[in-house]
Amino acid sequence: MAGKPYIIALEEHYLDAEVKQHYTGSDARQAPRVAERLEDVGQGRIADMDAAGIDLQVLSHANPGLQKMDGDTAIRLARAANDRLYETVRAHPDRFAAFAAIPTPAPAAAADELERAVTQLGFKGALVNGLTNGLFLDDKRFWPIFERAAALDVPLYLHPAIPHPAVVEAYYKDYVDKFPSLLRAAWGFTVETATQGVRLVLSGVFDAYPNLKIIIGHFGEGLPFLLWRVNMGFERDRQGSKSFRDAFCEHFYVTTSGFFSDAALLHCMMEMGIDRIMFSVDYPFVDNAPGAEWTKTLPLSPEDKEKLLNGNARRLLKL
């Protein structure tokens, strides 16, 4: 197709067969059509990418990843799953790249696995799903991971997972049976991941590691839309040298995963600038086709469109 831009999508998921065996409860349940596509990292996936015109997927493990396991299990599975993901990428290096799964229940080992994945397997960073056994990532125990990511100059992708059980109990449970998406894409994912982002800024981790780069999907889980008000609120409590707005806009990137809205895109551009926004689909939870169709009508100049569809990702992930 003449003039088709090169398209990189970077919140694209798969499921490792061994990791899957450790999932329980609602984490173990997927719609059959999604489950089938999660486990296909070969011809079916590539055919789906071809049909939509997506050139490169940066693969990451579907939620909840390794975040709800004991440390030893998570360490063992991380190595095995990342080694298998390496083989997946090696089989199709022009179609796939990878974010590592890291064993956050054992933070020092997670930092080491991140380094191994980046320096030995050629991975582009890591993706972490939700809370780690109930803890937000701003907890100081996890700072070795941020220190290593900053030293390696790779981003960490903060991805949602089903919210904390106490939150489900207090906020959501009376609607969950009828509307299971309340815990997921419709609302729960957003609230928890946005909270993760806010807490990270408040923790001071960006003062400690000025080179730290965070990616959040789904157009920043609402934070760009709320940025003016969040910033105003935290100015009342200002402690450090940097405003919430400055910390957020200097350290965070957002993607379009599962959120193909012109209004949301324009809002994010106004708050963060086009250089911080990258295209993603959220395959296979979201289909490639509507995302790819949207790229044909983006309200962007040709230069900004290139940045969104590939340029920003190339720069951040050193592709």
Residues 6 or more apart whose CB falls under 8 angstroms from that of 113 comprise 75, 78, 79, 82, 100, 102, 103
Query: Beta strands 8-14 and 252-255: pairing type?
Result: unpaired
Site stretch for Mn ion (CB under 5 A), options 43-51, 95-103, 143-151, 274-282: 274-282
> What is the smallest separation between the CB atom of 43 and Mn ion, expressed in angstroms?
22
Binding residues among 10-49 for Mn ion as defined by CB under 5 A = 11
Is the backbone of residue 101 left (phi > 0), alpha (psi -120 to 50) or beta? Answer: beta
Contact between 221 and Mn ion by CB under 5 A: the answer reads: no
Closer to Mn ion by Cβ: residue 9 or 114: 9
Nearer to Mn ion by C-beta: 203 or 280?
280
The active-site residue out of 94, 282, 287, 304 is: 282
Q: Does 282 bind Mn ion (CB under 5 A)?
A: yes
**CB closer to Mn ion, 182 vs 230:** 182
Q: CA nearest 49: which of 100, 98, 99, 6?
A: 6
Report in angstroms how near the CB of residue 9 gets to Mn ion at its nearest.
11
Distance in Å, CB of 223 to Mn ion, minimum: 16
The candidate with the shortest Cα–Cα distance to 256, out of 274, 237, 231, is: 274
Q: Report how far apart the first and last C-alpha atoms of the chain are (Å, whole number).
A: 23
Closer CB to Mn ion, residue 35 or residue 108?
Answer: 35
Known catalytic membership, residue 50: no
Beta pairing partners, 126: 100, 156
Residues that bind Mn ion (CB under 5 A): 11, 282
Name the residues annotated as catalytic: 282
